[in-house]
Amino acid sequence: MSTFDVNKIRQDFPILHQEVNGQPLVYLDNAATTQKPQAVIDALVHYYTYDNSNVHRGAHTLADRATRHFEESRQTVQKFINANYDAEIIWTKGTTESINMVANSFLPTIAKKGGKVIVSELEHHANFVPWQQQCLKLGLDFIVIPATADGMIDMQEYERQLDEHVIMVAVTNVANSLGTIQPVEKIIKMAHAVGAKVLIDGAQAISHLNVDVQNLGCDFFAFSGHKLFAPTGVGVLYGKRELLEQMDVYQMGGEMIKEVSIEQTSFNVLPFKFEAGTPNIADVIGLKAAIDYLNAIDDKYPNARYEHEEALSNHLSQRATAFEGLTPIGVNNKRAGVLSFTLKGIHCHDVSMLLDQQGIAIRTGHHCAMPIMNKLKLPAGTLRASLSFYNTKQDIDRLFDALEKAKTFLG
C-alpha cells in the first residue's frame, strides 16, 4: 500500500498554492469552510459546459443527463452516511436550513402540552435559535443543558432533565467553537429511552468522523456540503423515512406537487416533498464529486486522513501547551482538529489581523456560539485554528511563529 503523502494531496487543492500579503497561504479556517479539490471544480465546469438543464422535467438528453447525475448524488450521500433509503436524503441549502426545516415542519407535529425541547449551551446559533423561537411559538419549554468548563455537555444535568415530557433533543456532534466531540451515541440512546426524537448537528463532524446514521440511531442528521470539500449552497437533511412522511411540507411550489386543482393540492412523495423549486443542481453534483474524491483517498489509504489529522491535532496541542501566554479552551477532551484559544492581554481581532499580514487564515470571534462564549466569560470570543487533512505540521509551526511575532508586537 502506498504511503499517505500530504504534499501530493495538497496538489489537488489549487487555492492552497498562492501568496497572501506576500506570504505563502496557511489556511487554518477549515471549521468555517473547507477548500475544494480540482475534481469538484471540474465537476461544476463539466455540468455547466455540457449538462446544464433542469432536472426531473425535461424530455431531452441534457435533462436526462442532469437528472441522472443529480439523483446519483443522492445515492452517493446515502451510502456515505449509511442511510437506509435514498429518499431519506433531502437537499437543502445547508445545515441551517436543514435544522430550520425540522424545527418548523416536524416539531409542531409532536408538540404537546408541557412538552420540552432540549438543546445544549454549546450549540451553534443555527441549532439553538430555531428551537428557542419555535418553543415560544408553540408554548413548549426550552431547556438548555449547560456545558462543562472544558467544553462538554453536562451529562448529569442532561440525565436530570430527561423525562416523559421531553419530545425533542437537538445537539451538536462536534462543537464548532471548541472542536470537542460530544457523546452523541449515549445522548441519543438516553433520549429514545424517554420517547424523545433526536436531531444531530453534523456540520463539523462530517469531514472529521466516520458518520453512520444507522449506528448512531439518530432521527435526523444535518450537514453542509461546504464543510465537506464541496461547494457552498448545498446541504443535507437525513431523516428516518417514517418521520419525514410525518412532517408537514416546508416550502410550496414546483417539484413538490403531486396534483393541483382549484379546490385542493396534494404533495409529492419523498424526497421531492421537501424540494420545492429548481434545486441547486450543479452544487449537488459537486457534492458527489467531493465524496467520490474522499472515497478514493480512503480506498487507497484506509484511515490515513483521519490518522494524519489526529497527528496534526496532537502537534497543535503540544505547541499550544508550550506557548507562554496562550490559554487553550476545551483541550482536555478529544477534539476534531480545532484549537480555540486566547492570548493574554491581547484582543483576538488584533491577533487575527497580524496573522493575516503573515499569510495565515484563522477565525476569530464568537463563532456563532454566544451562549458558550458567555458561559466561559469570553466577551471577545476566541481565536480558532482548525485543521483539515491537507494541512501540515509546517502550517502549524508557521502559525506559532506568527503568534510569537504578534505577541511581541502587541504585548
CA-based nearest residue to 4, from 396, 313, 291, 306: 306
Pair (347, 231) in one structural domain:
no
Final residue before a domain boundary, out of 296, 329, 350: 296
Q: What is the pLDDT along the chain (411 residues), one digit of tens a residue?
A: 468 999 999 999 999 999 999 999 999 999 999 999 999 999 999 999 999 999 997 789 999 999 999 999 999 999 999 999 999 999 999 999 999 999 999 999 999 999 999 999 999 999 999 999 999 999 999 999 999 988 999 999 999 999 999 999 999 999 999 999 999 999 999 999 999 999 999 999 999 999 999 999 999 999 999 999 999 999 999 999 999 999 999 999 988 999 999 999 999 999 999 999 999 999 999 999 999 999 999 999 999 999 999 999 999 999 999 999 999 987 666 889 999 999 999 999 999 999 999 999 999 999 999 999 999 898 899 999 999 999 999 999 999 999 999 988 886
The pLDDT of residue 332:
65
Pair (70, 213) in one structural domain:
yes
The C-alpha cell 483539515 sits at: 388
Final residue before a domain boundary, out of 269, 296, 323: 296
Helical (H) or strand (E) element with 26: strand 26-27
CA-based nearest residue to 145, from 374, 371, 369: 371
C-alpha span between 55 and 65 (Å, rounded) = 9
CA-based nearest residue to 365, from 125, 132, 202, 146: 125
The C-alpha cell 463539466 sits at: 46
CA-based nearest residue to 136, from 117, 157, 158, 110: 117
Active site residue 368: yes
Pair (176, 73) in one structural domain:
yes
Select which of 135, 218, 348, 368 is catalytic: 368
Pair (45, 154) in one structural domain:
yes
Pair (189, 234) in one structural domain:
yes
Pair (111, 134) in one structural domain:
yes
Q: Where residue 103 sits, what CATH number does that domain have?
A: 3.40.640.10
C-alpha span between 159 and 163 (Å, rounded) = 9
The pLDDT of residue 189:
98
C-alpha span between 241 and 406 (Å, rounded) = 52
DSSP state letter for 14:
G
Final residue before a domain boundary, out of 296, 316, 338: 296
State how many domains the chain has. Answer: 2
φ/ψ of residue 43, rounded to 5: -65, -40
Pair (252, 339) in one structural domain:
no
The pLDDT of residue 411:
63
Structural domain that includes position 399: 6-30+302-410
